[in-house]
Chain A
């Protein structure tokens, strides 16, 4: 089968790989019909995530058709079209049982701080991902959800990560009616977080980024304010001024390790790897949120350390929350939102690219070329 093949930082290709096999009685084999490149895939692509082995296949956002099931799979049948959450969850451990499906303790032997994630290095379990024609999907009774009849596949594929992560970013903010919410990052997650902030009753939503085409998109898509930090002397000062000098009630970091905007962070975090990525966004979030406010982190960072003003977090009495989205917990509500038109995820898709052109797709997404916001990869079998 065709699959993406990581060869080193900023080097990927498509090669023929062996078909995945059932390795566990709760496994399913899924034929991919859509997969995406996620902003967090860029941390892998740039070689910033430890234990990213040459020969790995990335891709944690994918949907497909069940081709084969293991002997213990009872909730899916061959032929089902499924949304596959990006996190791999057993449904039996103490964490899954309490709804923390992004924190499963039975899916990632290599690290205890993160559960298993498809195609996200051996630090997240060593599974191949969905930027391929076929994928092995463990715990098929737990994660995969049958795509409701009539749902557009482009909407469905964004329910695997983008929509739940953006929604949970807003949810973790504990937004109260009338709150001012600031979101750093106008990538797909930031855009969705802005849209979802209104669902929790935000009074004002402000998005900060450096790319004008994305700011224009989010301004229209999420009916929010959007500003370019390159035009500001200091984004924190800008937020203080625009919130009557008190700061925002809730600030969301929807950027993570690839953040621009602070030379010291960029050099130490992205170039020299002395930090687990550039912590510019979370740094700004802590400094621009109101005293007693909440910082919600969904931007992805590596497992080592980051330089952030923890003293300010203490002195301001902040609540800092973060997590990988609990996709399974959120899916029923989010499917409702998509079906009734409250959310329109597929409008974020700017590029549909054949799987075979994956190297160009990564370059385009990474370089924000051609006004790229979200790239969907389509394998040959799904194009027939």
Chain B
């Protein structure tokens, strides 16, 4: 913490080749070496915590401000809480978050249906723009999806009827 004020005179040659112009961060960083003093700056007023906010374990506290949107909830929230037990250096942080995002999509559809809202997938995917500006390719894509879906249904139905014979 006290690096800046430490006396290195007992180390022969300490700093003899230091060159302030040898700074690859110029001009992004106006180097003052503030951070050599550690996490010691005068912090802004702390935002009150009114919702659950997960924070990286690579820092000791919440930041002075933070977003309060979409707090963790449901199964995806449980997975996110698990993920935040691990550092940003760990796959156990990021991979569960991606899984949580996918679970959250299903939760979003369930929430919509609970509220009596059937999601208009066609509109949400912006297919109107595809229809307007990319019609031929869009039709081809839909035909392929339709054919694959029909094939899957036929295969599954066929298996079902086979199994009934036994």
Show the binding face of A for B, using Cβ within 8 Å. Answer: 7-13, 23-27, 47, 50-57, 72, 88, 90, 92-95, 97-100, 105-113, 116, 122-123, 125-128, 138-139, 168, 171-172, 273, 302-304, 319, 321, 323, 326, 329, 359-364, 367, 369-370
Contact = CB atoms under 8 A, between A and B. Distances in A.
Interface string B130-153: 101110000000000000000000
8 contacts: A13-B119, A25-B45, A51-B80, A92-B44, A98-B30, A99-B30, A107-B66, A109-B63
A273 B42 CA distance: 40
A369 B134 contact: yes
B121 interface: yes
B94 A50 contact: yes
A54 B104 contact: yes
Given A10-B125, A23-B68, A53-B101, A369 B59 contact: no
Contact of A90 (B62, B65, B100): B65
A9 B80 CA distance: 18
Given A94-B37, A363-B128, A369-B130, 18 more contacts: A7-B119, A8-B108, A9-B105, A13-B123, A23-B48, A24-B44, A50-B97, A53-B76, A55-B69, A90-B65, A97-B32, A99-B27, A108-B63, A109-B53, A122-B70, A172-B28, A304-B91, A360-B132
Nearest to A362: B126
Residue from the set B59, B88, B126 with the largest chain A CB neighbour count within 10 Å: B126
Interface of B: 24, 27-32, 34-35, 37, 39, 41-45, 47-48, 50, 53-56, 58-59, 62-70, 76, 80, 83-84, 88, 91, 94, 97-98, 100-102, 104-105, 107-109, 119-121, 123-130, 132-134
Contact of A360 (B63, B88, B126): B126
B67 A127 contact: yes
Contacts of B126: 12, 359-364
A55 B37 contact: no
User: Which 7 pairs across A and B sit closest by C-beta, in order of nearness?
Assistant: A363-B126, A126-B67, A8-B105, A94-B34, A54-B108, A127-B67, A50-B97
A97 B59 CA distance: 19
A7 B105 contact: yes
B85 to A, nearest CB: 13
B41 A92 contact: yes
Contacts of B125: 10-11, 359, 363
Nearest to B137: A367
Nearest to A124: B67
Most B CB contacts (10 A, CB to CB) among A8, A12, A13, A100 go to A8
A92 B63 CA distance: 12
Nearest to A26: B44
Contacts of B67: 116, 122, 125-128
B82 to A, nearest CB: 13
B104 A273 contact: no
Contacts of B98: 50, 273
A27 B44 CA distance: 12
Given A52-B101, A53-B104, A55-B70, A110 B55 contact: yes
A56 B34 contact: no
A99 B28 contact: yes
Nearest to B53: A109
Given A11-B125, A97-B34, A303-B94, A54 B107 contact: yes
A111 B128 contact: no
A106 B62 CA distance: 8
A133 to B, nearest CB: 16
Contacts of A273: 98
A164 B77 CA distance: 36
Contacts of A139: 44, 65
A110 B56 contact: yes
Contacts of A10: 125
Contacts of A13: 119-120, 123-124
Contacts of B101: 47, 50-53
A128 B128 CA distance: 26
A111 B88 contact: yes
B15 to A, nearest CB: 20
Interface centre among B63, B108, B132 (most CB of A within 10 A): B63
A172 B84 CA distance: 33
Contacts of A319: 24
A126 B53 contact: yes
Contacts of B76: 53
Nearest to B128: A360
A139 B65 CA distance: 8
A360 B67 CA distance: 27
A289 B21 CA distance: 24
